Amino acid sequence: MSKLEEMAEQLADECIAVQEEIGDDRLFVKMGTVIGASSQTLEEAFLSAVRTKLAFDKARHFLADKLHAYQKSQEQDPE
């Protein structure tokens, strides 16, 4: 992993944590604007890292919900 990717990943992790803490789900967009004012390269890497992490979390929640619904249906209708 390049230094740029490491920095983008670290900023993405920190931003997502703050986003969740303060309840601002668009904080990463605002932060991207701040980063982009100094470095478009870091901005792109940061936004990519954030979107990837958010998509990963969303997909994991989707799977967990599907599994929970399936398990619940099996408890109510065992064959």
Task: Please name which of 20, 19, 3, 7 lies closest in space to residue 46, comparing C-alpha atoms.
Answer: 7
pTM metric for this prediction? 0.84
What's the rounded Cα separation, in Å, for the pair 11 and 42?
10
Q: What is the pLDDT of residue 46?
A: 98
CA 50 to chain CA centroid, nearest Å: 5
Backbone angles phi, psi at 76, to 5 degrees: -80, -25
Q: What is the pLDDT of residues 33-48, one digit of tens each?
A: 999 999 999 999 999 9
Give me the residue label for tokens 């901005």: 43
